[in-house]
Amino acid sequence: MSISPELSEVVDFLKAHAPFDRLRPALLEDAARQIEIIYRRKGDVLLRIGQANPALAVIRRGAVEVHDAQDRLVIQLAEGESYGLPSLLTGNPVRNRVTLIEDGLIYLLPVAEFRALCAADAGFDQFYVRTLEERLRGGVESNAGNAMLATAVGKLAGRAPVMIGPQASIREAAQLMSAHNVSSILVGDGERMLGIVTDRDLRNRVLAKGRDPAAPVLEIMTADPASMDVGRPVFEAYLTMVNRGIHHLPLTRDGRPVGMITTRDLVSLQTQHPLYLVRQVYKQDSVAALQDVAARMPQMYALLLGSGASPDDVARMLTALTDAFTRRLLQLAQARLGPPPMAYAWICFGSQARSEQGPHTDQDNGLILAQVPSANAANYFEALATDVCDGLNACGYPWCSGDIMARNPAWRMSLDAWQHCFRGWIGTPTAQALMHASVFFDQRLVAGDRGLFDSLQASIFEQAAAQPLFLAVLARQAVAYDVPLGLFRRFVVAREGEHRDTLDLKAAGAMPLTDVLRVHALAAGIREPGCLPRIDALRLAGKLTQESAAELSAAFRLVLRLRLEHQARQMSASQPPDNRINPDRLERRDRDALRDAFGVIRIAQTALGNEYAVR
């Protein structure tokens, strides 16, 4: 018996999601006929504490948050997932409040029909029992998703990508996509990827424009699409797709396409880990709304540390949130002020540029303008920068104590003026120039015109390579840090005052290593700002041995982990986070490893000093 298009849509959705995908067709159609479809707005409460739960709720579109009686976040759920399981399975009153955080479409299957399906299919029943057990055991289901953050993205990809040659017709590409039931196809020769065509491209570039389907697929493909190596972590794929606004991401191994992931592959992940906040940031339309998102970051930070993600991944994810807040504030500022009068590049410095931020980091940013601004243009960019910097401060990123921010006109200037600044610092390495080098020479584009940023980078590295005196002075500064190891590898700690018996992990470990690597990177023309990417690039360039690179990477990760864990403990105790630890309070394994890390940093300083004949 045929079914209506409306019912067919419900059936198609259900059979694409567990556990409905295991039901016999007749059972599935019977269930679909009983479903009530409701539409609710963002902020609507779907279940209230104490009420009876009348139905199994399946989220068709949108997302919900579940809060307990103490208003603590229990879980976030999205398309294809169900809420209200404890009350549904036990028959007890609802114990958590369920609220839509996006406009949503919900499928409601009456409890009687739900129980009939459980009785008819044991696997259907066990799916919900297991799901409830996992949520109860995990407390906050985010932990399961967080554990996947560092997982290689290749593990999410299923079959190999479907490929077609560039001279094949558009019709052949569409037929191949249909035959393989995929929403995208790669254009290439099997070894080399030239482009990608998605179902959206077929609608927008072919059907909507009346293009001849016999034309070669080369004409409608997106050339040189974003791609990612299968070994990269899942969260990088998520960020790439969100920031670029794409729904398909080809995966490669040694440059060859081997897989494909889509937003559908990441839909549950979006609500189960801190990078869900990135998506939420881009949806907010005011600073006040962004503050609400920022208020959830401490809890997410604690979850991250307990997720099994590496310390550098944690720092990169925290930095990704800073980037997202910055970009959204720029968008809001432009919506208020109108389009910018010229091209610009918003850049960041320091730990944000290196993607090494912790939970409490101030701002370091600047603005490159395409040319010297007129009075009106200067007023525009002053307002833009003030909006963004003040918005970041409101969201928990304090103003820079040294005023290194785009709202300061000293760091909001034309490309020529920026190049002049760096030319002066490099050509005349005064004490102030060295202070600036420790901040400004680690830089990264956050938003705006990449050409402006690339031009500044090119001039910096060209000038640095031509000024060995500047590199030697930088090297002298890098080796001047005293690593806190004394005789017999004893830690050197403060002996009096409020910091008695402690050492500063940032000043004693992170900063000297960062400075050493910066000198090597400038000398070798390596533009990567982060410590770990610099180490890897130096290894590939033959500037570091495999053994030295491994030791430096391990030292960096250990110091970063100890800093992040220390700050998490302080935050849980409602103390302001800092970088000072008492090494005697570390576990013996970490204490010994920290001694080794400081030893590695000292050796790196010595090698740099020998290379530039400085002490």
CATH code of the domain in which 450 resides: 3.30.460.10
- Does residue 496 form part of some domain? yes
Residues 384 and 255 in one domain: no
pLDDT tens, position by position, 419-436: 999 999 999 988 888 888
Q: With beta carbons less than 8 A apart as the criterion, state whether 35 and 105 touch.
A: no
Same domain, 249 and 284: no
- Interatomic CA distance for residues 50 and 371, integer angstroms: 63
Q: Is residue 269 part of a domain?
A: no
Instruction: For residues 380-399, give the mean pLDDT.
Output: 97
Of 400, 433, 466, which residue sits at a domain end? 466
> How far apart, in whole angstroms, are the C-alpha atoms of residue 578 and residue 587?
19
Same domain, 456 and 311: yes
Instruction: Return the top range by mean pLDDT from 343-347, 474-478, 551-555.
Output: 343-347
Model's pTM, two decimal places? 0.61
Rounded to the nearest integer, the mean pLDDT of the chain is: 87
Strand order of the β-sheet with 184-188 is 163-164, 184-188, 193-198, 222-223
Is residue 306 very low, low, confident or very high in pLDDT (cuts 50, 70, 90)? low
CA pair distance 357, 369, nearest whole angstrom? 26
* pLDDT over 50 at 141, yes or no: no
What b/e string do you get for 114-135 counting C-beta neighbours within 10 Å, with b at 16 or more? bebbbeebeebbebbeebbeeb
Examine residue 559 and state whether it is found in any structural domain, yes or no: yes
Statement to judge: residues 485 and 424 lie in one domain: no
What per-residue confidence (pLDDT) applies to 142?
37
Yes or no: say if 201 and 222 are a contact pair by the CB < 8 Å rule.
Answer: yes
Quickly count: other Cβ atoms within 10 Å of residue 451's Cβ.
12
pLDDT value of residue 213 = 93
Residue 208 falls inside a structural domain: yes
Two tokens, residue 195: 């482009």
Read off the pLDDT of residues 197-253 as tens digits, 9 standing for 90 and up: 998 899 989 998 999 999 999 999 999 999 999 888 877 787 788 677 788 999 998
For residue 468, give both structure tokens: 């060995």
**Are 132 and 176 contained in the same domain?**
no
Whether residue 337 sits in one domain with residue 481: no
The residue out of 466, 489, 509 marking a domain boundary is 466
DSSP letter for each residue of 503-558: EEHIIIIIHHHHHHHHHHHHHHT----SHHHHHHHHHHTTSS-HHHHHHHHHHHHH
Q: What is the extent of the structural domain holding 323?
A: 274-466
Residues 125 and 214 in one domain: no
Same domain, residue pair 405 and 338: yes
Which tokens is 58 given?
């399946």
Omega before 468 cis (within 30°)? no
Same domain for 160 and 294: no
Kindly tell me if the per-residue pLDDT of 192 is higher than 50.
Answer: yes
What CATH number is given to the structural domain containing 206? 3.10.580.10
The better pLDDT of the pair 266, 511 is held by: 511
- Model confidence at 94, pLDDT cuts 50, 70, 90, reads confident
Q: What does the pLDDT read at residue 160?
A: 81
| Least trusted range by pLDDT, from 115-129, 182-196, 343-357, 503-517 | 115-129
Domain-ending residue, one of 112, 140, 168: 140
Average of per-residue pLDDT across 411-420? 97
Q: In this predicted structure, which of 142-156, 296-310, 601-615 has the lowest mean pLDDT?
A: 142-156
pLDDT for 137: 38
Q: What is the CATH number of the domain that holds 80?
A: 2.60.120.10
Tens digits of residue pLDDT in 398-411: 999 999 999 999 99
At residue 267, the pLDDT reads 55
With pLDDT > 90 as the criterion, what percentage of the chain qualifies?
Answer: 52
At a CB cut-off of 8 Å and minimum separation 6, what does 539 contact? 545, 546, 548, 549
Number of domains in the chain: 4
Cα–Cα nearest to 565, from 543, 592, 587, 547: 587
User: Has residue 147 been placed in a domain?
Assistant: no
Q: 512-561: per-residue pLDDT in tens?
A: 999 999 999 999 999 999 999 999 999 999 999 999 999 999 999 999 99
- pLDDT: is 130 or 114 the higher one? 114
Residue 266 lies in a domain: no
226 and 305: one domain? no
**pLDDT tens for residues 18-57?**
888 888 888 899 999 999 999 999 999 999 988 888 999 9
Least confident of 295-304, 417-426, 435-444, 456-465: 295-304
Mean pLDDT of 301-309: 68
Give the C-alpha separation, 294 to 391, whole Å: 11
The reported pLDDT for the residue numbered 612 is 92
Confidence of residue 446 (pLDDT cuts 50, 70, 90): very high
Does 27 reside within a domain?
yes
Residue 131 has pLDDT above 60, yes or no: yes
Question: Taking residues 115-125, what's their average pLDDT?
Answer: 79
Residue 495, in any domain of the structure: yes
| 482 and 423 belong to one structural domain | no
Nearest to 348 by CA among 329, 336, 362: 362
Claim to verify: residue 434 and residue 300 sit in the same structural domain = yes
pLDDT at residue 149, rounded to an integer: 57
pLDDT at residue 505 tops 90: yes
Higher-confidence residue of 95 and 328: namely 328
CATH at residue 594: 1.20.120.330
- Which pLDDT belongs to residue 158? 62
